[in-house]
A and B are shown apart, each in its own frame.
Chain A
């Protein structure tokens, strides 16, 4: 349903960007303003162009994790839930860290480094250190995007280690900031509508980094270990404390199903969901607020070793009330996935089997057979639900105003 109104130009021009009309996948009411621009200098008439303004509808999501911890996989799953593939901006800097899809824009907070690689080496400071990041610029630009104003965001080139000329970022419907410090600065934290922290335990982190780096000639087991050890103090001091502010924490631990497991292939994943967050209803198993332990393998479902174990219950996390849904083990077959999905409640899925369908769509992504992929997909659905509720409340408010 498109409501078309003709406005005179002046004030609206500054906050809106001119673009070709695009189809919205989610079918939301998108205000489309048809402009007829009156130019005073020339007599030639400008053709009507459709200008779409997000007009301060942008929902800002923050995602925090150490590097090498699955942020990019999470981003691809998240953008897939919203529809459309996220790609780097066309025609721009090829080393840009930004991903843009129809509804979502994802920026990497490394772009707000105040010191480039050489600068950090000179000062003896890691990228994890707040002194290497420009939080004032981060706050201003995220605030601008949230209120519907496009910004020129710097680019940190990971290949060269230099800060490149800025790129234009237009306010999207959903704006995701991912990086090391989305929740570090209190002002930026206030702007976030939802925040997620990926907490990977040391053993699992070590195993994943080995998998990632062993193919490189320059690396050896010792160098990978040394790299993790050297970064640990800064990580514990600056990055880890952010998990107390997150609305959802995905904690990845080694499995408890296999005694003395050191392969790190089977994982125990805990989805810690804060209670009392606006527009966010935690996922639960069987009965909200009670403590459940569930092994789905049995008569109706046969699983191969080591099987699957779920548990759910209320807990306290850094002084907050939280609900924790935990999965240990891995999925081997489609029917295990759909069986588990059918027993969970409050998933915010639009149809039966949506989580399974999303998991199958990206069966080649890492974590597609265990709790990491499963919970990332569920968090994606929760974010979609949060977005729809925010939009509904915003369109509901002006109607209320007109009634009164």
Chain B
């Protein structure tokens, strides 16, 4: 009995050690060396807020358009195709950021009350 339980206890531990090793090492280095935060984890001193990426389809499109723009510009950096390709990247980035903003504000009660302000849950008493 003891041997069996011993085996079952050890195997999960071994598995658990393998996968999060990489993540843990990064996290620990940040905790152990807090003075390194700004230089290692921020690019050129800019404060970057971690925000979730835009919906899948749009992110894919954006990544593709960046690649095709880089290709188009590798041939000729001042051609119309190169410029138009980067303009498309810009347009998609703007759209991605709008999509991210829209996703952020989806509180189910708010969206329901926008459509149905007269229902009991949504009545407000301002005075």
Please list the residues of chain A having a beta carbon within 8 angstroms of any beta carbon in chain B. Answer: 67-68, 72, 87, 117, 120-121, 123-128, 158-159, 161, 207, 209-219, 221, 223, 226-227, 230-231, 233-234, 262-265
Q: How many inter-chain residue pairs (CB < 8 Å) link A and B?
A: 120
Cα-based distance from A297 to B94 in the complex (angstroms) = 38
Q: Contacts A158-B95, A216-B54; is A207 near B66 (CB within 8 Å)?
A: no
Other A-B contacts than A158-B95, A158-B98, 19 sampled, CB-CB below 8 A, are A67-B90, A68-B90, A124-B84, A126-B83, A128-B87, A210-B48, A212-B94, A213-B93, A213-B97, A216-B54, A218-B64, A218-B65, A219-B62, A219-B66, A227-B69, A227-B90, A230-B69, A231-B83, A231-B90
Chain A neighbourhood of B87, CB < 8 A: 120, 126-128, 230-231, 234
B residues 47-89 near A (Cβ < 8 Å) are 47-54, 58-59, 62-67, 69-70, 73, 79-89
- Beta-carbon contacts of B82-111 to A below 8 Å, as 1s and 0s? 111111111101111110100000000000
A-B contact pairs, 11 of them (CB 8 A): A67-B91, A68-B90, A68-B93, A121-B85, A121-B88, A125-B80, A126-B83, A213-B96, A216-B63, A227-B69, A227-B93
Residue contact B63 to A218, C-beta cutoff 8 Å: yes
Stretch at the interface among B9-17, B23-31, B38-46: B38-46
Interface residues of B (CB under 8 A from A): 43-54, 58-59, 62-67, 69-70, 73, 79-91, 93-98, 100, 114
Closest A residue by C-beta to B50:
A215
A128 to B, closest residue via Cβ? B87
For residue A230, which residue of chain B has the nearest CB? B86
C-alpha spacing A36/B70, complex, angstroms: 64
A125: which of B52, B84, B90 is its contact (CB, 8 Å)?
Answer: B84
Do A120 and B66 contact each other (CB < 8 Å), given the known contacts A212-B97, A262-B45? no
Question: Mostly helix, strand, loop or mixed at chain B's interface?
Answer: helix
Closest to A159 in B: B95
User: Is the Cβ of A217 less than 8 Å from the Cβ of B90?
Assistant: no
Interface contact B50-A223, CB-CB below 8 Å: no
Q: Which residues of B contact A161 (CB under 8 A)?
A: 88, 91
Q: Measured between C-beta atoms, what is the minimum distance from B103 to chain A in Å?
A: 12
Question: Nearest Cβ in chain A — how far from B52, in angstroms?
Answer: 7
Known: A121-B81, A158-B95. A216 touches B53 (CB 8 A): yes
Residues of chain A lying within 8 A (CB to CB) of residue B100 = 215
B83: contacting residue among A218, A221, A223, A230, CB under 8 A: A230
Residue in A124, A223, A226, A233 whose CB lies within 8 Å of B79: A124
Contact in complex: A121, B94 (CB < 8 Å): no
CA distance A197 to B116 in the complex (A): 38
Question: Contact at B59–A221, with CB atoms within 8 Å?
Answer: no
